[in-house]
């Protein structure tokens, strides 16, 4: 495996420049890696970066790096985490309810049972809201219209199978409408769904409290209900429960460790997380982001995760995430595209290949030799990139490509290959702190 | 807010931005931004995310000045590799590569880089002015765009393919459908069901546009050049001059800059607008308005000036919903929103009134950053243009190393790296047999968008197709798309 000790490059340099040296701590353990299975900017990424800050500030770990592995509501990160971090005792990944939803919807072979549970960290309440100008004045109005003709109410929220859709399904279930009939409109990303709600494109919107709060304060949307058990101080929004819907709901986030770590490593990581949630930087972040402290560790957390898995599975099955098909069936468009591709292929590709340009045989051989060299370079790059590291893979690639153009100066090309690869690694891997595999040349 | 209030607020912003410390942060931001914009796959979003924990100890003002600089700088940097290496650093500079790279091949790289830099400056300055004076008004208009309107907008964007088809309708459309088919791969965002992903987890999120773009353009070009090398003697590249643009080129550029700004800014304001659609619409506009459309695709400077201006204007437009509504409409905007929260600031509709100093200093520093970028980039244009003089073996070796670096860091996935070379092979074959490459890229970007917005609109209207004709905005956009396709041929018949 690659090296574990990665400097924080630019980050560290700037920290020194701006005199942001973390609170001095006695012999903090070396390095910790955090995986955020999402792109920068979302809830999981924020959680990971707040953890990074808190861990360094409190001196619990000397350096902490965050790696983003985005995709498929966390499933790509999860698959990678289980596959390549097996037994890494210094790595944590952020996960949560939305990942459970994705596991169920995608029937993922890898679930949260495959990883080592560490702790639940935070929870976030969800809010139902309508645009300020909406004719719907209250939750009663909404439910009345919804029970009369469910499909007429469009519910806007985040990705399909995520926390927002789960809550819509739970509400439908609670008021006696088949969850299958919820006309849920999935948007990708908080910005997209928020603009649809603000613009009145959907009847009602569901979103996390933190994302809605500024709009509630500004009066641009009217909150109908919050999914907490009791009213929150300083926020004049009635709960679902006090309005007759017996439901409580939170979008929780947690951290997990890779599979195959031993008991001592597990205890160490649990200790790190416990110390972090007690730190001042973490408590500050909770208020700033309006996160609830939902720290729960050990066997209790495992039991909680199992119960949640069952609940999510039940509601998503009832929702039938594949069921909502309007007149434009999802199958029609792929058929059009693939049909068009085949027809145009017959019309364009066949004649193009027939009138193959005539090439003198001697030069053609040289041309194909060049292509062969580049193909070898690409193949070896894929083969070596993670096994031997970025520098070696890139140097080999550079050298082969250069020789594809001109084979008279192998030594000059080799020198440039090494120089360019090392420079690229230092600039992007160290200074910009991008995750480039160091491989066997660990330094 | 009256005109005078805005001017005095902006004046206050400038007073606070022109302090040595703030100027230094702006300079650091634009320099770093230019550097990351150059590399495919690494954009301002990732850079700001990496810097967030570091800037925690700074005062928010300095941090946001640096972030603004990174954002604008990345827009400038993206065009450099597009023009010189046929490797767009981000999706907004794909259109630039079409004619920019041809100009560089003809030894006119310095002129292409200059028109890109000046165009970016003009667009950035005009768009930032519009941001300062009309932001709240524009934002409320933008909210009237729903899924039906966005669908119509993608149809308008599809018409730009007509300007990119090349010699054969069948080959051009095949390229488009290839892109559309690749766009089918991955989770359908409306239902959460995976399509054509063949059980491979890395394919669940589809094929990244960056992979397709640098595969087709950079890797495909490298293989093609190597393959041809054995057959023909190399045409030596003669650099025309290092001074930038000729009088003729200035005359050809200034109108595309203004038109690009006019197209880019309003589309950037739309919460789902992005930078791809405006850049291609600008390219189409310039080709349609040109007296000599046949020069496009062979090194027309208007094809660089327009899209570059549109790209920067759209990037400034993205800040409108962010600052006035608290709506993040791009990855970078989402990070900036998170940064506001980190400082305990309330991003949202009240930001302008609750944090006027911060907002106006940020806007003022965007103006300053734009000037800095122009001053940095103009002299560099001549220096960068010399890249074309690097011996080919070394130049293309370096291009492939950069391409593989960008592809791998995107998702840290070897599958992406393999895909990059596979797509490169396809790109080379397409070049050999004279298939245009850009329609495939447009297909991959617009296909999924178009499908999603169509189905979302249908779900909201409960399956009633009339939603596309009864909403005035939608109907007029669809009419415009039809006009773009039909009018030119009618025109020709008449003339």
Residues B284-311 pLDDT 10s: 999 988 888 889 989 999 999 999 999 9
Q: Judge: B393–A345 Cβ closer than 8 Å, yes or no.
A: no
8 Å CB contact between A217 and A290: no
- φ, ψ at B234 (rounded to 5°): -70, 140
| DSSP H helical ranges for B233-275 | 247-269
Q: Judge: B174–A341 Cβ closer than 8 Å, yes or no.
A: yes
Residue of B187, B341, B455 lying closest to A326 (CB–CB): B455
Strand A204-208 and strand A154-157: the pairing is parallel
- C-alpha to C-alpha distance for B396 and A409, rounded to whole angstroms: 15
Q: Give ipTM to 2 decimals.
A: 0.85
- C-alpha to C-alpha distance for A205 and B468, rounded to whole angstroms: 23
pTM surpassing 0.90?
no
Q: Supply A161's token pair.
A: 């199978």
What are the boundaries of each domain within chain B?
3-494
- pLDDT digits 0-9 by tens, A117-147: 899 999 999 999 999 999 999 999 999 999 9
- pLDDT digits 0-9 by tens, A83-111: 778 888 889 999 999 888 888 887 888 88
Residues in A touching B348 (Cβ below 8 Å): 213-215, 217-218
What pLDDT score was predicted for residue B164? 82
The region that residue A41 occupies, defined by phi over 0 for left and psi between -120 and 50 for alpha, beta otherwise, is left
Å between A297 CA and nearest CA of chain B: 26
Cβ of residue B140 closer than 8 Å to a chain A Cβ: no
Which residues 398-437 on chain B approach chain A with CB closer than 8 angstroms? 398, 400-402, 404-405, 408-409, 411-414, 417-418, 420-421, 424-425, 428, 432-435
Which residues 42-101 on chain A approach chain B with CB closer than 8 angstroms? 42, 45-46, 49, 52-53, 56, 67-72, 75-76, 79-80
Residues in A touching B473 (Cβ below 8 Å): none
- pLDDT digits 0-9 by tens, B458-469: 988 888 888 898
- CATH topology for the A124-250 domain: D-Maltodextrin-Binding Protein; domain 2 (3.40.190)
Nearest CA in chain A to B431: A352
What are the boundaries of each domain within chain A?
16-120+253-313, 124-250, 357-431
What pLDDT score was predicted for residue B412? 79
DSSP designation for B235 = P
Residue of B170, B187, B348 lying closest to A347 (CB–CB): B170
For chain B, the first-to-last Cα distance in angstroms comes to 51
Å between B375 CA and nearest CA of chain A: 24
Cβ of residue B462 closer than 8 Å to a chain A Cβ: yes
- C-alpha to C-alpha distance for B52 and B325, rounded to whole angstroms: 22
User: Does domain A16-120+253-313 bear CATH number 3.40.190.150?
Assistant: yes
Same fold, A16-120+253-313 and A124-250: yes
Tell me the mean pLDDT in the region B312-331: 86
- pLDDT digits 0-9 by tens, A190-201: 677 888 898 889
What pLDDT score was predicted for residue A366? 72
């Amino acid at each position: 495996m690659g090296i574990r000790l990665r400097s924080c490059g630019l980050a560290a340099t700037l920290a020194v420049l701006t005199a942001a040296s973390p609170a001095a701590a006695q012999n903090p353990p070396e390095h910790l890696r955090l995986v955020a299975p999402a792109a920068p900017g979302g809830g999981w990424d924020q959680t990971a970066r707040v953890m990074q800050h808190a861990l360094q500030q409190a001196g619990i770990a000397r350096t902490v790096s965050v790696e983003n592995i985005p995709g498929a509501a966390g499933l790509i990160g999860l698959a990678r985490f289980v596959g390549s971090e097996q037994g890494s005792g210094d790595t944590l990944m952020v996960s949560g309810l939305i990942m459970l939803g994705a596991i169920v919807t995608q029937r993922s072979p890898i679930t949260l049972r495959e990883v080592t549970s560490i702790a639940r960290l935070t929870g976030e309440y969800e809010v139902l809201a309508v645009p300020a100008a909406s004719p719907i004045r209250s939750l009663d109005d909404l439910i009345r219209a919804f029970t009369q003709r469910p499909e007429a109410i469009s519910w806007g929220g985040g990705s399909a199978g995520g926390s927002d859709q789960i809550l819509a399904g739970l509400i439908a279930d609670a008021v006696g409408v088949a969850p299958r009939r919820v006309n849920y409109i999935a948007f990708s990303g908080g910005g997209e769904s928020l603009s649809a709600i603000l613009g009145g494109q959907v009847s009602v919107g569901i979103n996390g409290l933190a994302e809605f709060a500024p709009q509630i304060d500004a009066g641009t949307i009217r909150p109908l209900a919050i999914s907490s058990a009791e009213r929150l101080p300083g926020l004049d929004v009635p709960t679902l429960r006090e309005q007759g819907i017996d439901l409580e709901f939170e979008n929780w986030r947690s951290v997990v460790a890779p599979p195959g770590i031993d008991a001592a490593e597990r205890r160490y990581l649990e200790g790190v997380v416990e110390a972090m949630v007690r730190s001042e930087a973490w408590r500050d972040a909770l208020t700033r982001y309006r996160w609830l402290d939902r720290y729960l560790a050990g066997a209790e957390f495992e039991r909680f995760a199992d119960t949640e898995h069952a609940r999510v599975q039940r509601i998503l099955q009832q929702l039938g995430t594949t069921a909502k098909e309007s007149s434009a069936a999802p199958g029609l468009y792929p058929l059009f595209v693939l049909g068009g591709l085949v027809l145009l292929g017959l019309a364009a590709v066949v004649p193009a290949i027939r009138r193959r340009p005539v090439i003198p045989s001697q030069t053609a051989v040289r041309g194909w030799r060049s292509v062969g060299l580049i193909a070898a370079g690409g193949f070896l790059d894929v083969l070596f990139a993670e096994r031997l590291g970025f520098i070696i893979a890139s140097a080999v690639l550079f050298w082969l490509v250069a020789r594809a153009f001109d084979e008279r100066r192998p030594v000059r090309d080799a020198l440039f290959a090494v120089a360019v690869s090392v420079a690229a690694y230092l600039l992007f891997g160290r200074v910009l702190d991008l995750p480039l595999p160091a491989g066997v040349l660990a330094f | 807010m009256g005109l005078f209030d805005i001017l005095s607020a902006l004046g206050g912003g400038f007073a606070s931005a022109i302090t040595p410390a703030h100027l230094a942060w702006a300079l650091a931001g634009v320099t770093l931004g230019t550097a990351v914009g150059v590399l495919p796959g690494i954009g301002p979003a990732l850079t700001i995310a990496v810097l967030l924990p570091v800037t925690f100890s700074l005062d928010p003002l300095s941090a946001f000045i640096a972030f603004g600089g990174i954002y604008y700088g990345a827009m400038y940097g993206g065009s450099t590799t597009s023009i010189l290496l046929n490797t767009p650093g981000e999706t907004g500079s794909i259109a630039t590569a079409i004619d920019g790279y041809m100009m560089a091949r003809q030894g006119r790289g310095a002129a292409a880089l200059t028109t890109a830099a000046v165009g970016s400056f003009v667009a950035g300055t005009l768009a930032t002015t519009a941001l300062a004076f009309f932001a709240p008004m524009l934002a409320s208009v933008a909210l009237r765009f729903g899924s039906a309107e966005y669908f119509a907008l993608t149809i308008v964007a599809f018409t730009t393919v007509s300007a990119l088809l090349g010699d054969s309708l069948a080959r051009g459309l095949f390229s488009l459908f290839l892109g559309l088919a690749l766009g089918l791969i991955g989770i359908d965002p409306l239902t959460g069901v995976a399509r054509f992903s063949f059980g491979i987890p890395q394919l669940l999120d589809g094929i990244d546009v960056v992979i397709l773009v640098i595969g087709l353009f950079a890797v495909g070009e490298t293989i093609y050049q190597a393959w041809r090398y054995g057959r023909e003697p190399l045409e030596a590249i003669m650099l025309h001059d290092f001074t930038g643009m000729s009088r003729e080129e200035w005359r050809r550029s200034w109108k595309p800059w203004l038109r690009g700004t006019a197209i880019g800014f309003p589309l950037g304001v739309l919460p789902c607008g992005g930078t791809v659609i405006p850049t291609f619409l600008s390219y189409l506009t310039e080709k349609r308005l040109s007296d000599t459309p046949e020069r496009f695709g062979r090194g027309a400077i208007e094809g660089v000036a327009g899209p570059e201006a549109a790209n920067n204007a759209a990037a400034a437009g993205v800040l409108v919903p962010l600052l006035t509504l608290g709506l993040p409409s791009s990855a970078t905007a989402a990070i900036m929103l998170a940064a506001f929260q980190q400082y305990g600031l309330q991003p949202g509709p009240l930001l302008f009134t609750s944090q006027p100093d911060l907002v106006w200093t940020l806007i003022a520093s965007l103006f300053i950053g734009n000037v800095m970028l122009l001053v940095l980039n103009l002299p560099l244009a001549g220096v960068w243009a010399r890249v074309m003089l690097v011996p080919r073996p070394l130049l293309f070796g370096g291009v492939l190393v950069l391409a593989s670096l960008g592809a791998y860091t995107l998702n840290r996935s070897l599958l992406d790296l393999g895909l990059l070379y596979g797509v490169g092979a396809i790109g080379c074959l397409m070049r050999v047999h004279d298939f245009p490459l850009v329609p495939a890229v447009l297909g991959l970007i617009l296909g999924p968008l178009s499908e999603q917005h169509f189905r979302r609109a249908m779900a909201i209207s409960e399956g009633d197709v009339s939603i596309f004709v009864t909403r005035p905005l939608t109907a007029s956009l669809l009419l415009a798309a039809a006009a773009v396709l039909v009018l030119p041929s009618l025109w020709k018949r008449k003339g």
